[in-house]
Structure 1
Amino acid sequence: MLKKIVFILLLVSSYLEFNAQCVPGSPPLPTVVVDSVSVLPNGDIIICWQASNVPDILEYDIIMFDPITLADLTIATIPAGGATCYTIPSGSANNFFDTEVREYGVRVKDNCGNASLNGDNYHNTILLEYGVNICAASINFTWNPYDDFNSGTNVLYELFVSQDAAPFISTGTTNNTNITYTGVVQGSNYQFYIRAIENNGAGPITSSTNIVGISANFFLKDPSFLYLYTATVEAPTQIDVKFYVDTFADAKVYNIQRKQKITDAFVTVGSVSAFKGMNPFIVFNDYDVDAEETSYYYQIEMVNLCNQTKIISNIGKTIFLEAYNDKLELTNTLTWSAYEGWLGNVTTYEIYRSIGGIWETTPLVTVPALVGENTYIDDVSTTLEGDGEFCYKIVGVEGGAAHPGALPPARSSSNDVCVEHVPLIYIPNAFDPLSTFNSVFRPVLTFADPLSYEMIIFDRWGQKVFETNDINEGWNGAFNNKGEFQAVGSYVYSIKFKSAPGKDFAYRGLVTLIR
């Protein structure tokens, strides 16, 4: 019995000795020094603190402040003597790493039930957020400040980036809570985070934000091509500009630009608005031109939704044709400027001609293309029909080339140009009504095709013996071509006609009737 009493006394003595360093109901224990709260790459939140030197320490409580209820919630208890870091797993009820900022702290307890105060050592997480500037191809990052370092608020923030799964690298620092990342590559995949470093970057303590992933597929899509297919003259005051566009690009408008001289600056003369589902082949009619006086240069400018010029097409230059006639040689000389701007270059020029206002359906001739000015001489000395007016146009033909949209080789027409030859008339001085080859007196007109015609024959006494308004009708020597044959001798003719351009011609002379 005595031994049992002694044993109980020893236990009580041991308990009293163990608790001799703490007293229940003592003032709050010293606050635990928290080094940092940080987000790990996998989304876990880790809080680390310095071991407390409180006597008779029992445990550490991990505290989270609830901004809704304003309560300090104990989310975990860590026995003393072990680790001084605690991880809050991603996806757990107390982890808000990528949705909101939360404050976490550590409370120490001793064996007597005494504890440090809540809230004295709270550290907040840093929430990284971003906005995209599609026009500048940049990303603007913002975050809440980390002002809980024990060393003070002199914090340096460093931005880290990983592009297309490459290792993270530092890409900039700031003392502010915002930074802009520029030079985003369209189509790349990025990850970013911010690291807060105490002592203006000297450390050693740091805190990191959540990692944000960004796929750069929402930026404006640039065009892959913009091709000026051809510029062709349709009328003296109309040039059609045809071009092919990349409809997958984020275009706002296509500006048609023009100039006359190579040294001039391009000026916008019209525009075509882009829209979803538009035809990639566009034809613009430029009516503010004088194609009979000069050639024109054209190019197309694509402006995107941010009002930025993203691409300018190749330059196309129209064909300008000039012509002059040689009235003695009865030739027409054509000169024209080369078409410029095709992928396949110009291989040939087709020359088309009209006589008396009627265009020939096939080319007069096809000539190989020369660099610079081209020339062709048309001999019209054997061309008797028509009114003396010859009109021409040139059609340039492109060689083979791989075009966007598999477009066929292009063609471009020049302006029309006309020259006139004055009517030529041959009037015989004699005829024999009984002859096989020269039995009718009829003048031969070349380059005439008159609007009006009159031929009158008078005898030596001034009596009219024949009259016609038909250029194809001649005098057969009889009175009005059906009466008595007139006597051998000289007769006076009077020939008048008005040419197609409206010019009057008159001829008077003698013709001898013989047998």
Structure 2
Amino acid sequence: GVCVKEYRNGELLSITRRDFQFNVAKCDPTVVADIKEDEMVNQQGQQLFVVNACGNYVEFTNQSFQAQFINAYRWEFDINGITKTINDWNAAVEFPAPGVYFGELILNPGTSCGDTAHIQVNVFPSIASDFEFAYDTCVAGPVSFTDLSATGAGPNAIVNWEWDFGDGIFSAGKDPEHSYHLPGNIPVKLRVEDVNGCMATKTRMVPYFPVPQFLVVAPSEYIGCQPASIFFNNLSFPVDSNYTTNWNFGDGTTGIGISPTHIYENVGVFDVSLEIISPLGCQIDTIWPGLITVLPSPVAGFSFSPPRPSNLEPTVQFSDESVGAVKWKWRFGSSGTSVEQNPVFTFPDTGIQVIQQVVFHESGCPDTALQLIDVIPEVRYYLPNAFTPNGDGVNDFFGGTGMMEGATNFTLSIWNRYGEKLFETADPFERWNGRKNSTGNLAPQGVYVVQVYFKNPRGELIHVKGFATLIK
């Protein structure tokens, strides 16, 4: 019980006694009612979950704790004196009009282990974003945007505009203008906000495909040699792959594409024209008279003799076979040059040589011909067929002669008719004296087989077979 005594100026005026009954229940764990709110406020000692809504239809999200211990739940909203009850975990309510409404989320109703979230709903008028745009579809110029957004909060209640023009540029104006640098179907987005903080967004596609105000290509003038390969760089703006581009190159051929490459095979002066048609049907065309001048070119060509020069025959005669040339320049690998029409050149070394002939027409236009010449490193080895090892100082030894520079893996062997090897050497110029292993008695008179093997400077195996007739 509770006893209350009231005093005034030190005198006892009254005594009041009351009896209370407290029922204590064990709730472990304790559930906590919670919802997704915009803010929390304290009103007369009570915590309020404040939900701000733009439009009459409002959705509420239940975020209560210890959901596994919540056995029942109920939403209650006071709508003009009528209680609307919802028994779902989340709630959605259609309020009749903008205004302030109150409600509750009750967990485990009718038990000692429950909790209640008190809710204040601020329903603001709805807002809708919209806009229109206008521009000259055939001229590359600015696009005008007009805001058509509306809000039930009243006239002039929209206070913020955020435009995204789809090309990385933004604006905060109400009715802006914007100039695009590239064509295309461009998504433009407008987000608006009213005095209540309500926002809405609208996206529209702007088909921006004007034709250029004038056409520009590079080169603006060309003088070159036949054949002329020219890249026409279309600098006109705006143009992309959605446009139709028709080229006339003036030599009886046409082409398409924004920036094509064309080869002029013939000599002459050529007009070039370009037509551009936008996806919306707008058209512009231009002709450039005498834009391309193609000058005559010579045709390089030559032959040479002998066809297989070598270190034994290194001098080569070159014969000019070009057409329309008045000037010549020759390069003989890294070994030398010449400006003669039909030069003669002696190669100082063997190997593959790149021969370059550059010829010039009287117009100054050049042409180049390249050929490879293989200056062969030849190795030659000769064997005699008889010798007389009698000690008279004349033809006493048997051995080969020749040009063996660059040869490797050389072996020379001499065999009798019984298959017995009598002599062997790795020196191309060592000679046999007619004796076995060059010592002992002189071999019998007769014919002996000579086998020679070596590799030439390019690694090819060479086999030479001969006979040595020993005469006493």
| TM-score interval, normalised by the smaller of the two chains | 0.3 to 0.5
Structure number with the higher helix fraction is 1
Structure number with larger C-alpha Rg: 2
Larger RCO of the pair (alpha carbons < 8 Å, separation 6+): 1
The two structures have a TM-score, normalised by structure 1, of 0.32
Structure number with the higher strand fraction is 2
The two structures have a TM-score, normalised by structure 2, of 0.34
